[in-house]
Amino acid sequence: MPGRVAIAGGGIGGLSAALCLARAGLQVTVFERRARVEEAGAGIQLSPNASRILLELGLGPALERLADQPARLNVRRLSDGAELATMSFADLATRHGAPYWALRRADLHGVLLTAAESAPGITLRNGETVRDAGMVEDIFTVTTEGDDGKRISEAFDLLVGADGLWSVTRRILHPRVLPDPRFTGYEAWRAMLPLAEASGLPQASDVGLWLGSGAHVVHYPVAAGTQLNIVLVRRGRNDTPGWSRPGSASVLAPDIAAAARPLRLLLGKVSDWQVWSLFDAQGVAMAGRRIALAGDAAHPVLPFLAQGACLAIEDAACLGAALARADFASAASLAAALARYDTMRRARSASVQRAARANGRTYHLSRPFSHARDAVLRTIGPNGMARRYDWLYGWKPPLI
């Protein structure tokens, strides 16, 4: 009888894990607290370390219809638009054997959801939240709560926590008090515009990164080249948890005024901003006691390296590989598989977390330190930029 796995969370990380575990021959039930999952209003970048996994899962044709493949990354100074560095994504794809994609989160989630709905061995249960898990008379039991407040306890072999930054599963695995995620003092303001409205922006069809004192802007095309995803990260004081809240364009007036003219004109066209206060937390042990963590539940990644979703997809592939040969009738075999998963992931995820934090500091330098940063970027050149991230983009999952 195949192992039975419960997954807390039906977002990108949870559905990726479901597909990888089902591919490994396991019976998977995904519990998602929202009755209807919507990942609207934001873009996402998928570098080769993640896109190769999605290709291996057979999702390439569906994603290629929806994703853009920007030709390059252009790094500019926010104040005057001076070009500091470029990196070719086409060369990166050739170098690492997988594409660099940019797409809407909703499109990626939709492809994963469609695949999960049609995959043998996956059951999706929306409107149910995982509340507890543990051994009850030698049976591992997962307790969920429905929208009506009713709780149900069911037997599973394993629980995977893909329930995000404020993870319940993380608390179950680590019952001693952990510090809450820490507000970083930065907010990400997100918006979408028709790409046609960015005609005055240099290289609007590429990924643009504009570095400024205490703020930076990222933009890239999504929705098969019809929309431009825009993210402005700035210092802020609002420490309200949550992925998205409305923001007033008037708050951004000083940041917009400080930008080079093409970017200033673009940002001035946005009337509908969604705000995400940025929180950070240290990574934790990712597995134990028949529980595994994935994505932000295990290792939140600040968005300064575009690796949050990528790391969750990596987790999914590694968890599938670790559990593929486990004997679910043997507690020792299952414990050994979970230990292998933790070993595969903890050092890697910690390295990505550190690199993202370092980028956040570097992006927001003020003078005179920003002059040194700019000089380094101009010196290393496109090949140097690519080599700098070989460790990140060149990662490959273990074979199942």
- Tell me what pLDDT residue 41 has: 59
Please give the residue that has the higher pLDDT: either 298 or 381: 298
Identify whether the C-beta of residue 170 lies closer than 8 Å to the C-beta of residue 298.
Answer: yes
If you count DSSP H runs as helices and E runs as strands, how many of each does the chain have, helices first?
A: 12, 19
Tell me: pLDDT of 69 over 90. Answer: yes
What tens digit of pLDDT does each residue of 9-61 get? 999 999 999 999 999 999 999 999 987 766 555 899 999 999 999 999 999 99
Tell me: pLDDT of 393 over 70. Answer: yes
The count of other CB atoms within 10 Å of the CB of residue 189 is 23
What tens digit of pLDDT does each residue of 137-181 get? 889 999 999 999 999 999 999 999 999 999 999 999 999 877 889
- Tell me what pLDDT residue 300 has: 95
Which tokens sit at 2? 């195949």
Q: Which amino acid is at 194?
A: P
Distance CA 334, CA 381 (A): 47
Please tell me whether residue 33 adopts helix, strand or coil conformation.
Answer: coil
- Which position among 186, 220, 363, 393 bears the catalytic label? 220
Interstrand relation of 27-32 and 4-8 (parallel, antiparallel or unpaired): parallel
- 100 has catalytic annotation: no
Which tokens sit at 271? 């009337």
- Strand-by-strand arrangement of the 128-136 sheet: 128-136, 139-146, 151-155
- Tell me what pLDDT residue 379 has: 94
- Tell me what pLDDT residue 20 has: 98
- Tell me what pLDDT residue 382 has: 86
Identify whether the C-beta of residue 99 lies closer than 8 Å to the C-beta of residue 63.
Answer: no
My answer on whether omega of the bond before 368 falls inside 30° of 0, hence cis, is: yes
The count of other CB atoms within 10 Å of the CB of residue 218 is 22
Q: Report CA dihedral (259, 261, 266, 269) to the nearest 10 degrees.
A: 90
What tens digit of pLDDT does each residue of 78-99 get? 999 999 999 999 999 999 999 9
- Tell me what pLDDT residue 37 has: 64
- Tell me what pLDDT residue 203 has: 87
* Beta-carbon contacts of residue 98 (< 8 Å; ≥ 6 apart): 48, 49, 51, 52, 55
Identify whether the C-beta of residue 169 lies closer than 8 Å to the C-beta of residue 297.
Answer: yes
| Listed residue (197, 217, 223, 219) closest to 207, CA to CA | 219
- Tell me what pLDDT residue 399 has: 73
- Model confidence band, residue 385 (pLDDT cutoffs 50, 70, 90): confident
What tens digit of pLDDT does each residue of 265-303 get? 999 999 999 999 999 999 999 999 999 999 999 999 999
| Listed residue (188, 196, 363) closest to 274, CA to CA | 188
Tell me: pLDDT of 307 over 60. Answer: yes
Cross-strand pairs, 188: 233, 276
- What average pLDDT does the chain have? 94
- Tell me what pLDDT residue 374 has: 94
- Tell me what pLDDT residue 139 has: 94
Distance CA 300, CA 280 (A): 6
In sequence order, what DSSP letters do the residues of 347-396 get, joined into one string? HHHHHHHHHHHHHHHHHTPPTTHHHHHHHHHHHHHHHHHHHHTHHHHT--
What tens digit of pLDDT does each residue of 309-368 get? 999 999 999 999 999 999 999 999 999 999 999 999 999 999 999 999 999 999 999 999
41, 63, 99, 273, 302 from 244: Cα distances, Å: 9, 25, 29, 9, 15
Which tokens sit at 293? 């963590």
| Listed residue (165, 222, 206) closest to 40, CA to CA | 222
Which tokens sit at 302? 């600040």
**pTM listed for this prediction:** 0.96
The count of other CB atoms within 10 Å of the CB of residue 282 is 12
- Tell me what pLDDT residue 176 has: 85
43, 154, 365 from 309: Cα distances, Å: 11, 29, 26
**Environment class of 199 (CB within 10 Å of its CB; exposed 0-12, middle 13-18, buried 19+):** exposed
Q: Which amino acid is at 345?
A: R
Distance CA 222, CA 65 (A): 11
- Tell me what pLDDT residue 383 has: 87
